[in-house]
């Protein structure tokens, strides 16, 4: 009969061997990845800023990996539908998701969440930041922020000015709500499944205004089908140098920018997460990618997974306070 000491020794050796095998398998998986097409979920409708960013990154990753990176648009529920689909996927690196600040906002916005951003997602990289612009139809009497405030106050008895967004809890919704609170005006929110359908209704005059990502709005502004009256960032943007900031237009200190990050499902092997993150950061350093994003006023960040995790924690705390102060609530 084997002694207890011998049994414990064998068990320990077996456990160590199993760990070594697992670590070796994880490294091998990371080295071999990818061996088949990869899905990049964009949790917004096609045609918006997220779609542009996602497809740009997917195109370059396809070239880097020699495997197709397929973009799948899954909009709805403030991006919860698409992010949850990624969170519930196998942590093998073949399903990724491009998330906006909604991933930090939604836990405070909705009473119930289908996923936990910390436990169910693996941070890969904080990709970039993009500015928002305030848009009105060309025929609108609103020429600047002071006009907008006066217009909203004039229409206060009927619910105020109507503004569209890419959905409840989207960066566009939050920017407008923060503006509404600071300007002390009434405005009615009209949510859409992405910014593209909202822009269509704005151009048709069905809504009064919209906060949108500059990357999406620039073609319409430059083509004359929409008018930009302000930008939400601290400074003016190069693409629209004559458009003032909200801060300089009557609301000092107003500053908001959207950010975009890539996550994988939770419990992804660290070696695999580092491999994917490194490849995405190389793509973001590509001069062609940098130029594409610069053309739409995007600022590339390309953080490490650890930096994204810290950023998510900071943003979550910030938006908790903003959501509670604004009284924003989702439909879930």
The whole-number pLDDT of residue 247 equals 94
Domain shared by 106 and 155, yes or no: no
pLDDT in tens, 163-184: 999 877 777 888 898 899 889 9
Q: Of 215, 231, 249, which residue is a domain's last?
A: 249
Residue 286: how many CB atoms within 10 A of its CB?
A: 16
Task: Identify whether 20 is part of a domain.
Answer: no
CA angle 256, 217, 253 (to 5 degrees): 20
65-119, pLDDT tens digit by residue?
Answer: 999 999 999 988 888 999 999 999 999 999 999 999 989 999 998 889 999 999 9
Q: Is 13 among the domain residues? A: no
| Mean of pLDDT over the chain | 88
Residue with tokens 């906002």: 105
pLDDT of the chain, 332 residues: tens digit per residue: 445 455 345 444 544 444 444 444 455 478 899 999 999 999 988 887 789 899 999 999 999 999 999 999 998 888 899 999 999 999 999 999 999 998 999 999 888 999 999 999 999 999 999 899 999 999 999 999 999 999 999 998 887 899 999 877 777 888 898 899 889 999 999 998 878 899 999 999 999 999 998 878 889 999 999 999 999 988 899 889 999 999 999 899 898 888 999 999 999 999 999 999 999 999 999 999 999 888 778 889 999 999 999 999 999 998 898 888 777 776 65
Last residue of a domain, one of 220, 249, 278: 249
Instruction: Judge whether 152 lies within some domain.
Output: yes
| Residue 29, in any domain of the structure | no
Are 159 and 235 found together in one domain?
Answer: yes
Q: Do residue 269 and residue 169 come from a single domain?
A: no
Judge whether 114 lies within some domain. Answer: yes
The whole domain housing 59 covers 35-129+259-326
Shared domain for 102 and 68, answered yes or no, is: yes
Residues 276 and 216 in one domain: no
Structural domain contains residue 16: no
* pLDDT for residue 226: 98
CATH number of the domain residue 187 falls in: 3.40.190.10
The pLDDT assigned to 256 comes to 86
Q: Which residue has the tokens 């650890």?
A: 306
Within this chain, do residues 117 and 266 fall inside the same structural domain, yes or no?
yes
Quickly tell me which residue has 């996927």 as its tokens.
Answer: 89
Do 268 and 122 lie in one domain? The reply is yes
Could you identify the residue written with the tokens 């509404």?
180
Residue 26: predicted pLDDT: 52
Query: Does residue 332 lie within any of the structural domains?
Result: no
Q: Are residues 98 and 149 in the same domain?
A: no
User: pLDDT digit string (tens) for 35-56?
Assistant: 999 999 999 888 877 898 999 9
Q: Total structural domains in the chain? A: 2
Q: Are residues 100 and 201 in the same domain?
A: no
242/287 same-domain check: no
Residue 76 is predicted with a pLDDT of 83
- Same domain, yes or no, for 124 and 263? yes
Domain check: are 125 and 142 in the same one? no
User: Residue 269: which CATH number?
Assistant: 3.40.190.150
**pLDDT confidence of residue 64:** 97
Give CA–CA dist 289/196, Å, rounded: 22
Q: What is the pLDDT of residue 274?
A: 98
- Does some domain include residue 218? yes
Q: Tell which of 207, 228, 249 closes a domain.
A: 249
């Amino acid at each position: 009969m084997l002694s207890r000491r011998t049994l414990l020794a064998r068990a320990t050796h077996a456990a160590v061997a199993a760990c070594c095998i697992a670590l070796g398998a994880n490294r091998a998986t990371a080295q071999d990845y990818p061996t088949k097409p990869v899905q990049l979920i964009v949790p917004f409708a096609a045609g918006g800023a997220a779609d542009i960013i996602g497809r740009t990154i997917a195109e370059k990753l396809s070239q880097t990996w020699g495997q197709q990176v397929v973009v799948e648009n899954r909009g709805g529920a403030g991006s919860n539908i698409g992010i949850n689909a990624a969170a519930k996927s196998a942590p093998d690196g073949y399903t990724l998701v491009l998330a906006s600040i909604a991933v930090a906002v939604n836990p405070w916005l909705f009473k119930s969440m289908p996923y936990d951003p910390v436990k169910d997602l693996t941070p890969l990289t904080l990709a970039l930041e993009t500015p928002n612009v305030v848009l009105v139809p060309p025929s609108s009497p609103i020429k600047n922020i002071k006009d907008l405030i006066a217009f909203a106050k004039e229409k206060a008895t009927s619910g105020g000015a109507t503004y569209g967004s890419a959905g409840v809890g989207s960066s566009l919704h939050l920017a407008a709500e923060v503006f509404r609170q600071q300007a002390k005006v009434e405005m009615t929110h009209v949510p859409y499944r992405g910014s593209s359908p909202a822009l269509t209704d704005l151009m048709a005059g069905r809504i009064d205004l919209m906060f949108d990502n500059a990357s999406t709005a620039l073609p319409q502004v430059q083509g004359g089908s929409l008018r930009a009256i302000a930008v939400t960032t601290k400074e003016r943007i190069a693409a629209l140098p004559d458009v003032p900031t909200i801060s300089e237009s009557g609301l000092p200190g107003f500053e908001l920018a959207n950010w975009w990050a890539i996550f994988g499902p939770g419990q992804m092997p660290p070696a695999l997460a580092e491999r994917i993150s490194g490849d995405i950061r190389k793509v973001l350093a590509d001069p062609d990618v940098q130029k594409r994003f610069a053309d739409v006023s995007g600022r590339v960040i390309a953080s490490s997974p650890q930096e994204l995790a810290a950023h998510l924690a900071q943003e979550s705390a910030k938006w908790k306070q903003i959501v509670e102060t604004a009284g924003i609530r989702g439909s879930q």
